[in-house]
Amino acid sequence: MTVGNQVQRVFIYGSCVARDTAEYLPENYRVVGYTARHSLLSWATDASYKLPADLELSNKFQDKMLRADWAGQSLDSLLETADQYDLILWDIFDERHGVHWFSTGEVVTRSIDLVASKPAMGLIEDGTHVALGAEEHFQSWCEKADEFIDALTEHGALAKVRLLRLPWAEQTSAHEPTPLSMGISAQEANQLTVPYYDYVAQRGLPIIDVPADLVVADPGHQWGLAPFHYVPEVYHYLRDAIVNPAPES
């Protein structure tokens, strides 16, 4: 993908996993776009009209991501500018907490930012949580994935995508079990996400697989201990797979 020191423009659609991976890429890789804390299911459903002016969040990034998720337009922006990017890193870790499906039809991600915002959470209707792995979530997600892959293909951008497929770490480098993430264990998340990865793989989406025996959580990670905050060796593996991809067989 890299030719000499030519600048490689990177768009990230995903969580800290893809963003942390980008930090390990060579200097000529530049992150020029970032959509975080969005489920694929929130794409093209606009619930932004429901939000108040003050979301009572601690920083501007959280506020921006929550509003963008509720507006449902971030992937439209990505697709419209796809010719500006050399690499699109995608991970699906932000699907882990599921979504909320309003009675009016809009879908928003159950992100840590949503949970932290009392004004936004106050708008969530009872009984609207659709969890990762639920039949409704999976079927609807596959439909959205089809739309996304078709749109990437139409814009000539499918070959630029690298979906990062790696399990949540069940153990830390200190051989301790990893903590839950909002009630979800690594073992449970790994079981739930297999059908999602399998589905997009069948559609021919470019995927980078990380060997399970390499996946270990780092207690000293800059964002704290979590099943998806890995030891540096994981990011080294991803870096090498991105910069020097194996030839197709």
Instruction: Determine, yes or no, domain membership for 47.
Output: yes
Check pLDDT > 70 for residue 188: yes
Check pLDDT > 60 for residue 56: yes
Instruction: Determine, yes or no, domain membership for 1.
Output: no
- Please give the average per-residue pLDDT across 9-21, as a whole number: 96
Q: What is the CATH number of the domain that holds 13?
A: 3.40.50
Instruction: Determine, yes or no, domain membership for 17.
Output: yes
Please tell me the distance from the alpha carbon of residue 200 to that of residue 61, in angstroms, as a whole number: 29
Domain count, the chain: 1
Give residue 1's pLDDT band: very low, low, confident or very high (50, 70, 90).
very low
Mean pLDDT of all residues in the chain?
Answer: 95
Check pLDDT > 50 for residue 7: yes
Lowest-pLDDT choice from 32-36, 86-90, 200-204, 244-248? 244-248
Q: Which amino acid is at 207?
A: I
- Please give the average per-residue pLDDT across 187-193, as a whole number: 97
**Structural tokens at position 83:** 């010719």
- Please give the average per-residue pLDDT across 12-24, as a whole number: 96
At residue 8, the 3 state secondary structure works out as: strand
Instruction: Output the pLDDT for position 245.
Output: 85
**Structural tokens at position 161:** 């995508």
Instruction: Output the pLDDT for position 4.
Output: 59
Rg, the chain, Cα only:
18
Please tell me the distance from the alpha carbon of residue 113 to that of residue 94, in angstroms, as a whole number: 11
Instruction: Determine, yes or no, domain membership for 108.
Output: yes
Q: 146: domain range?
A: 8-243
Please tell me the distance from the alpha carbon of residue 64 to that of residue 51, in angstroms, as a whole number: 12
106: nearest Cα among 96, 90, 120: 120
Instruction: Output the pLDDT for position 248.
Output: 62
Check pLDDT > 70 for residue 249: no
Query: How many CB atoms lie under 10 A from the CB of residue 78?
Result: 24
Instruction: Output the pLDDT for position 182.
Output: 84
Phi, psi of 210 (to 5 degrees): -110, 130
Instruction: Output the pLDDT for position 126.
Output: 97
Instruction: Determine, yes or no, domain membership for 217.
Output: yes
CA angle 218, 223, 224 (to 5 degrees): 55
Helices and strands of the chain, counted as H and E runs: 8, 8
Cβ neighbours of residue 94 under 8 Å, at least 6 residues apart? Answer: 14, 15, 36, 37, 38, 39, 109, 111
Instruction: Output the pLDDT for position 237.
Output: 98
Give residue 155's pLDDT band: very low, low, confident or very high (50, 70, 90).
very high
Phi, psi of 209 (to 5 degrees): -95, 135
Instruction: Output the pLDDT for position 5.
Output: 81
Instruction: Determine, yes or no, domain membership for 36.
Output: yes
Query: How many CB atoms lie under 10 A from the CB of residue 21?
Result: 27
Instruction: Determine, yes or no, domain membership for 249.
Output: no
Query: How many CB atoms lie under 10 A from the CB of residue 94?
Result: 25
Instruction: Determine, yes or no, domain membership for 139.
Output: yes
pLDDT in tens, 92-136: 999 999 999 999 999 999 999 999 999 999 999 999 999 999 999
Check pLDDT > 50 for residue 38: yes
Q: What is the DSSP letter of 37?
A: S
DSSP result, 59-78: SHHHHHHHHHHHHT-HHHHH
Distance of CA 29 to the CA centre of its chain: 19
